[in-house]
């Protein structure tokens, strides 16, 4: 959840996995209670006239984003906030997008804030996202090339044929930007949390519990200024058999929470649902043994 305080956006990014999980649970519960409220309906049935006077916000957002969720709450300054959460592509990666509106007493509203994976974005990125959301024929297919914030332009390479990508940092740049080496970042990932599954057990503990004879490896594969990627490889016990498993994780500076969207089992890449099933199995088994 994003909390608006005196005109500024303050993202709830905690180093504690438990607080992150509690926030997620509170958001889910609040969404169940408020998703059909008149405040939320005011936004869903409204229009962003700068982008379209024909398509409601609700239809545009729910056609464009995956796993849409709406909720309303009061900010610390007593403003009525309508918050939308959903998944979209950003720079060729699936991210969680959080978009906030301020609803005024006269039922007018303003588009206020955007975050990707709880990292605040500027207004240029917010406008760019809205243009993508309201692009012609966006209901049929999303543009998965992504877009880039100008604040990272020094690390961006637009020379390829696929919309460009962030440049990976060298070893020296990694230490300069993060203060850690790539092996250090791999250890941080190993000791991080997947708050969807547990705020008590680290990823390393859970996956190590599945490994055969300690046959596992954590390594940092790519580092960018705004995030880094860590890969887990191990021979794991899964549903009665041993399987070669590769799981890529994304992490962001200042957060101990990881994200994962895919998994490779015995050389075959699987989708998010398969990754979820594997991780749910791993966490349930670890909880049973501990």
Q: How do residues 126-146 score in pLDDT, each as one tens digit?
A: 878 888 888 754 444 344 344
The pLDDT of residue 219 is: 92
Mean pLDDT (the chain) is 76
Closest CA to 117 of 260, 288, 266: 260
Please compute the mean of the pLDDT values over residues 240-252 and round it to a whole number: 85
For 50-61, the pLDDT digits (tens) are 788 889 999 999
DSSP conformation class of 155: G
The pLDDT of residue 283 is: 92
Q: Which residues pair with 11 in a beta bridge?
A: 2
User: How many CA atoms lie within 13 Å of 71's alpha carbon, on the beta-carbon side?
Assistant: 20
Q: Enter the pTM of the model.
A: 0.46
For 221-245, the pLDDT digits (tens) are 988 877 788 999 988 888 778 889 9
Closest CA to 216 of 197, 230, 199, 196: 230
Query: Who has greater pLDDT, 43 or 157?
Result: 43
DSSP line for 69-85: EEEEEE-TTS-EEEEEE
Residue carrying the six token digits 């900010």: 75
Q: How many CB atoms lie within 10 A of CB 115?
A: 23
Q: Report percent pLDDT > 70 for the chain.
A: 74
How many whole angstroms separate alpha carbon 13 and alpha carbon 166? 23
For 91-112, the pLDDT digits (tens) are 777 888 999 999 988 888 888 8
DSSP conformation class of 151: G
If pLDDT is split at 50, 70 and 90, which confidence band does 254 have?
A: low
Q: Say what the alpha-carbon torsion angle 148, 150, 156, 160 is, to the nearest 10 degrees.
A: 50
């Amino acid at each position: 959840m994003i909390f608006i305080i005196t005109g500024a956006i303050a993202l709830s990014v905690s180093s504690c996995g438990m607080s992150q999980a509690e926030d997620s649970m509170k958001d889910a519960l609040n969404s169940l209670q408020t998703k059909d409220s008149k405040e939320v309906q005011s936004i869903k049935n409204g229009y962003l006239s700068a982008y379209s006077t024909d398509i409601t916000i609700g239809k545009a957002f729910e056609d464009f984003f995956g796993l849409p969720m709406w909720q309303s709450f009061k900010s610390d300054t007593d403003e009525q906030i309508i918050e939308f959460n959903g998944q979209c592509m950003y720079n060729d990666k699936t991210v969680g997008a959080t978009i906030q509106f301020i609803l005024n007493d006269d039922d007018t509203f303003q588009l206020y804030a955007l975050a990707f994976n709880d990292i605040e974005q500027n207004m240029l990125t917010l406008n760019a996202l809205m243009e993508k959301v309201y692009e012609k024929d966006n209901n049929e297919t999303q543009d998965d090339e992504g877009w880039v914030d100008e604040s990272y332009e020094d690390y961006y390479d637009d020379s390829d044929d696929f919309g460009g990508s962030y440049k990976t940092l060298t070893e020296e740049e990694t230490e300069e930007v993060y203060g850690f080496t790539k092996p250090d970042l791999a250890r941080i990932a190993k000791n991080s949390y997947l708050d969807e599954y547990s705020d008590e057990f680290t990823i390393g503990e859970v996956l190590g519990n599945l490994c055969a004879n300690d046959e596992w490896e954590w390594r940092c594969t790519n580092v960018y200024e705004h995030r880094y990627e860590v890969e887990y490889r191990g021979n794991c016990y899964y549903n009665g058999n041993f399987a070669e498993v590769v799981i890529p994780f994304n992490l962001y500076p200042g957060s101990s929470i990881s994200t994962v969207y895919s998994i490779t089992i015995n050389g075959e890449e699987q989708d998010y649902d398969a990754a979820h099933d594997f991780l749910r199995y791993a966490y349930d088994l670890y909880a049973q043994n501990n």
